[in-house]
Structure 1
Amino acid sequence: MDLEEQCVSPEAVICVVDDDDEVRESIGTFFRAAGIKVAKFGSAEDLLAWPNLPTMRCLITDLTMSGMDGLELQRELRRRGREVPVILMTAFPTAEVRERAEAQGVSSFVAKPTDPETLLAKLEALLSW
Structure 2
Amino acid sequence: MMIRPPLVSVVDDDESIRESLPDLLREFGFAAMAFSSAEQFLASGHVDETRCLILDISMPGMSGPELKRELSKRKLYIPVVFITATGDESAPPNERELGTAECLFKPFSDTGLLAALKAALRVN
Task: Work out whether the TM-score is over 0.5.
Answer: yes
The bucket for the TM-score relative to the shorter chain is 0.7 to 0.9
> Quick one: which of 21, 25, 29 aligns to 2:15?
21
1:55-94 correspondence runs (5 A):
55-94=49-88
2:100/2:120 contact within 8 Å kept:
no
Q: Which position in structure 1 is the counterpart of 2:41?
A: 47
Which runs of no fewer than 5 residues in structure 2 stay unpaired?
none
Q: CA RMSD in A?
A: 1.8
Runs (4+) of structure 1 exceeding 4 A deviation are: none
Tell me which protein shows more helix as a share of its residues.
1
**Cα 1:33–1:99 shift into 2, 3 Å:** closer
CA–CA distance in 2 between the matches of 1:42 and 1:70?
A: 12
Q: Which position in structure 2 is the counterpart of 1:33?
A: 27
Provide the identity percentage: 37
1:119 has 2:113 as partner: yes
| TM-score, normalised with respect to structure 2 | 0.86
